[in-house]
Structure 1
């Protein structure tokens, strides 16, 4: 592999990282705090590529196996075709996995405010397990994409990640009392937690819907 070619490969990989971090597509793969490290890494790779490209000449380097070029395929795919974030297909196949553990042993009461209290799906599941029953009788609103289950059931679903999409976990709440929307469509569901549901690990929390409205897909679909 010639020095100039090595520089071009570095420049290409750097350009992929810069594009992903600048346009926000990196959120399909990793958590939000990684934007700036990815952007800086991409810029550094591009800068490192300048010298080999400009001054590399035609000097031959040690032979590199042809299979090495296959390492560029993932970057090429990401650069040309922006992959979609994880959605209903994976969620429906990993629904039996346990959601992440709650960060605290018990939760404070929900804010005493008029109207529905916005909650993340993950927090709703944690509160359903809380013996203090902080959800009882309260109207809440959760946002998520629609995944389907058996017998016409459907769920407001989110994928939560620790660092990247590879460790994604499914969190979902079953919605009752409303027509089932299309898979992977994003909705905001306002409703009331059905007392006792989801109070045991592995059981389904149920939200009796008051309203369901479509919403745009958020920039960060994990959370």
Structure 2
């Protein structure tokens, strides 16, 4: 069986990649949607290479039997290499979840002055669905106060702070999960009492509350006064949009 080690590993990894990219949307937990075709092609190539390796292993076995090689004399890599199949099998059967509160808690407020200015007008809508990243940017840097007087709805997962505070949080991905950055909004108001469970997903409707001086750490994290808080299902694409 040792001669089939590389074939098994290639087939497992290829199957796992195809499972998350071709047969489901689980790949969105790790990379941007634009990378899906590359994942599918990679998975197909790995499956093909695994199949070729399996056929070569079968032929090698037949040749050895034809030459009456002693049993157990098959060549192959060290047995410990089979351990590499464990993470591949885990990815195939138990794909890791999207980044959540633990990842969010690792990034401190890195909001030193990045320049303030006037943002474009918000589109019509009442309430207006807006990403956590967009809300955060406008609340911290917009000298035109485009959030003022608008009823807004944010969707994200719950993270907790000190003294009972909690946040609607999203992670923004540029390429893949490895470069994720955090955006979060502190939730105030009567509807914020009884914070939802960490990592649960909520849609929060409310109005902007100004905080601190624009473009400084004092404006971070921005605040939303909630009028409704509703638990929702985690979206297929859990990461935020700019």
Q: Which residue among 127, 139, 154 is the counterpart of 1:116?
A: 127
Q: Which residue among 142, 164, 168 is the counterpart of 2:176?
A: 164
Displacement after TM superposition at 1:215 (Å)? 1.0
Normalised TM-score (structure 2): 0.80
Residue 5 of structure 2 contacts residue 82 of structure 2 at CA under 8 Å; is this kept in 1? no
Number of aligned residue pairs: 219
- 1:181 aligns to what? 196
Residues 41-190 of structure 1: matches in 2 within 5 Å? 41-56=42-57, 57=59, 58=61, 64-91=77-104, 93-98=105-110, 106-111=118-123, 113-128=124-139, 129-177=141-189, 178-179=192-193, 180-190=195-205
How well do the aligned residues superpose, as a CA RMSD in angstroms?
Answer: 2.5
Partner-residue secondary structure (3-state), 2:158: strand
Residue 121 of structure 1 contacts residue 157 of structure 1 at CA under 8 Å; is this kept in 2? yes
The verdict on how the C-alpha distance between 1:55 and 1:146 changes in structure 2, with shifts beyond 3 A counting, is same
Q: Structure 2 stretches of 5 or more lacking a match? A: 65-72
Q: Structure 1 stretches of 5 or more lacking a match? A: none
CA deviation profile, 1:44-79 (whole Å, cap 9, x unmatched): 111222222224322789753455444333222211
Displacement after TM superposition at 1:8 (Å)? 2.6
Larger Rg: 2
Residue 8 of structure 2 contacts residue 85 of structure 2 at CA under 8 Å; is this kept in 1? no
Residue 226 of structure 2 is aligned to residue 213 of structure 1: no
Partner-residue secondary structure (3-state), 1:174: strand
Residue 197 of structure 1 contacts residue 206 of structure 1 at CA under 8 Å; is this kept in 2? no
User: Which piece of structure 1 moves more, 56-65 or 197-206?
Assistant: 56-65
CA deviation profile, 1:133-179 (whole Å, cap 9, x unmatched): 11111111110011111111010000111222222111100000122
Normalised TM-score (structure 1): 0.86
Displacement after TM superposition at 1:105 (Å)? 5.7
